[in-house]
């Protein structure tokens, strides 16, 4: 099963690397990084160093454009192939449906990692042009050493995969519930926007996984500003909420995909 899933994942990567969507995503994320680089001013947020800029860019990218791109990509994973009929060609091969579903999930996760890695590397590169990287210090001396900041940067980046991964599985689930990419994207992005609006009226914010998409970068931003920070217990909450959503979305999408008649 693992060998077949990896083969299917390899096929998914071959296809993804040749789609315009991937490169359009990279361009969109790059554009946001550059715009933020050009517009963030010292007056707006106080003292800026390279770390602060990176923390702000990562929050900015994944609060808006990154979130929508990842949601749209995941929503297309199944629905587009169902609409064009290529899923039927894939499923007549000697594979199990769950293997294809796993490969699709893997493809979505790798896309998310690639886009977020590009945003991080570009923001680091741009920050290097204008700001300094080094220990965080104030008039009393060093607060956080460079190695501690780097360690926290890696933590923030790795932990940001948890809510973004949940977003991928949510999009994939919506994709498995629909048969065309348009409705799948509308359903995924629309439900996120709707719930985000609702949370201002109903106290549901803490129970939404989208609430936590920028959470690790908020903590990193505190590190970069030299204030007290705390990963726990906040990240436990991120893990728990995202874990519940991930399992529910994965199981629902897989169940629907495995039971669906592919005759449309």
Interface with other proteins (CB under 8 A): 4, 7-8, 10-11, 14-15, 18-20, 84-86, 88-96, 259, 261-264
The least distance separating other proteins from the CB of residue 94, rounded to whole angstroms, comes to 4
Between 111 and 144, CB nearer to other proteins: 111
Long-range contacts of 79-85 (CB under 8 A, 24+ apart): 79/174, 79/175, 79/176, 79/178, 79/179, 79/180, 79/181, 79/183, 79/184, 80/180, 80/181, 80/184, 82/178, 82/179, 82/180, 82/262, 82/264, 83/179, 83/180, 83/181
The least distance separating other proteins from the CB of residue 99, rounded to whole angstroms, comes to 9
The least distance separating other proteins from the CB of residue 4, rounded to whole angstroms, comes to 8
Q: Pick from 156, 162, 66: which is nearest to 114 by CA? A: 66
Which tokens in the block code for residue 138? 């104030």
The least distance separating other proteins from the CB of residue 71, rounded to whole angstroms, comes to 22
Between 19 and 186, CB nearer to other proteins: 19
Between 138 and 261, CB nearer to other proteins: 261
Between 110 and 208, CB nearer to other proteins: 110
The least distance separating other proteins from the CB of residue 90, rounded to whole angstroms, comes to 8
Between 18 and 41, CB nearer to other proteins: 18
Which tokens in the block code for residue 192? 């996120």
Distance CA 206, CA 143 (A): 31
Q: What is the DSSP string of 170-211?
A: HHHHHHHH-SSHHHHHHHHHHHHHHHHHHTTTSS-GGG-GGG
The least distance separating other proteins from the CB of residue 183, rounded to whole angstroms, comes to 18
């Amino acid at each position: 099963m693992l060998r077949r899933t990896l083969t299917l994942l390899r096929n998914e990567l071959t296809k993804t690397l040749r789609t315009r969507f991937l490169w359009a995503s990279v361009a969109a994320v790059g554009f946001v990084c550059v715009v933020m680089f050009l517009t963030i001013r010292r007056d707006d947020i106080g003292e800026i160093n390279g770390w602060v800029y990176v923390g702000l860019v990562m929050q900015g990218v994944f609060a808006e454009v990154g979130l929508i791109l990842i949601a749209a990509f995941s929503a297309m994973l199944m629905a587009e192939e169902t609409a064009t009929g290529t899923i039927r060609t894939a499923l007549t091969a000697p594979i199990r449906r769950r293997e294809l579903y796993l490969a699709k999930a893997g493809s979505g996760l790798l896309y998310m990692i690639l886009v977020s890695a590009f945003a991080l590397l570009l923001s680091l590169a741009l920050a290097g042009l204008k700001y300094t990287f080094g220990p965080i210090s104030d008039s009393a001396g060093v607060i956080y050493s460079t190695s501690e900041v780097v360690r926290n940067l890696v933590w923030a980046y790795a932990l940001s995969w948890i809510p973004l991964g949940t977003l991928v599985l949510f999009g994939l689930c919506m994709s498995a519930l629909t048969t065309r990419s348009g409705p799948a994207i509308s359903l995924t992005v629309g439900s996120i926007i709707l719930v985000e609006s609702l949370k201002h009226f109903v106290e549901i914010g803490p129970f939404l996984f989208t609430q936590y998409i920028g959470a690790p970068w908020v903590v990193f931003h505190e590190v970069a500003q030299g204030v007290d920070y705390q990963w726990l217990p906040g990240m436990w909450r991120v893990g728990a909420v995202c874990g519940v959503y991930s399992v529910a979305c994965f199981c629902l999408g897989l169940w629907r995909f495995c039971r669906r008649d592919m005759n449309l």
